[in-house]
Amino acid sequence: MAENRDIEVVVFDVLGTLVDESSGLRTGIREATPASDDASVEELLTVWQEHVELEQQRIAQDDRAYVNSDAIDEEAARRVADHAGLADPATIARLATAGQRLPPWGDSVAGLERLARRFPVLALSNAGRTALLRLSAHAGLRWHQALSAEVVRAYKPAPEVYQLAIETAGCPPERLLMVAAHAWDLRGAQASGMRTAYVRRPAGDPPRRADAFDWQFNDLDELANALTAS
């Protein structure tokens, strides 16, 4: 386990870790399709999520040229619109930006502020630069610096994304702590030499038995307690 004195910079995943992505997308879908019942909204949410996951995988496998999250979200919105029978361009355009209006988890804002009094805090997100700016503002997330994977034209868990954080921090990778609710994200950070902390979230990707992350926490309060302990 990492000692808290070894950590110089804390790096946070954003989508799913600090903001409730599924809830925000549901809200956007309900707004665009007010006649839909809960089951239909869940079906449309699955259409959106599966498209995003597939296209990011295709980019990672070099089956598609890189496009940022804004472009993929626009495609996802059009797929949802096709399934729901939506044709109004303005409604579809607003739906495409639903990922910029995601609510924070209840402990995110206070947890970030607490940690930022002790450490430099970075965001490291697959969200494009514009989306990251707007979702951070909407959720009230305050960073010392927000890094988008768009800068290196890749998606986590590509190693160049974590290297972006390491180079920005200006210290050895073992002095960076990557915090995420997704074990796949932490594995990528771990492979780049970073320390890792898993935080449980309702829609996260929990660790497997073989995973050996430095810390596991139930929430950001526990994380902040561990990192700020003297």
- Run of H or E including 204: none
pLDDT in tens, 106-140: 999 999 999 999 999 999 999 999 999 999 999 99
Weakly modelled stretches of the chain, pLDDT under 50: 1
| pLDDT of the residue at 1 | 47
- Run of H or E including 192: none
Total Cβ atoms within 10 A of residue 94: 15
| pLDDT of the residue at 224 | 95
Asked if 123 and 14 touch (Cβ cutoff 8 Å), the reply is yes
Euclidean distance between CA atoms 155 and 157, whole angstroms: 6
| pLDDT of the residue at 66 | 97
pTM strictly above 0.75: yes
Give the residue range(s) of CATH 3.40.50.1000 domains in the chain: 4-20+102-228
Give the residue range(s) of CATH 1.10.150 domains in the chain: 21-100
23: CB partners within 8 A, 6+ apart:
102, 103
Q: Which amino acid appears at position 131 of this protein?
A: A
| pLDDT of the residue at 18 | 98
Give the β-pairing of 121-125 and 195-199: unpaired
Asked if 77 and 60 touch (Cβ cutoff 8 Å), the reply is no
Residue recorded with tokens 């960076």: 176
CA angle, residues 102, 31, 22, in degrees to nearest 5:
35
Q: Indicate the CATH number of 4-20+102-228 among 3.60.21.10, 3.40.50.1000, 2.160.10.10, 1.10.3720.10.
A: 3.40.50.1000
Q: What is the CATH number assigned to the segment(s) 21-100?
A: 1.10.150
Asked if 83 and 179 touch (Cβ cutoff 8 Å), the reply is no
Question: How many residues are present in the chain?
Answer: 230
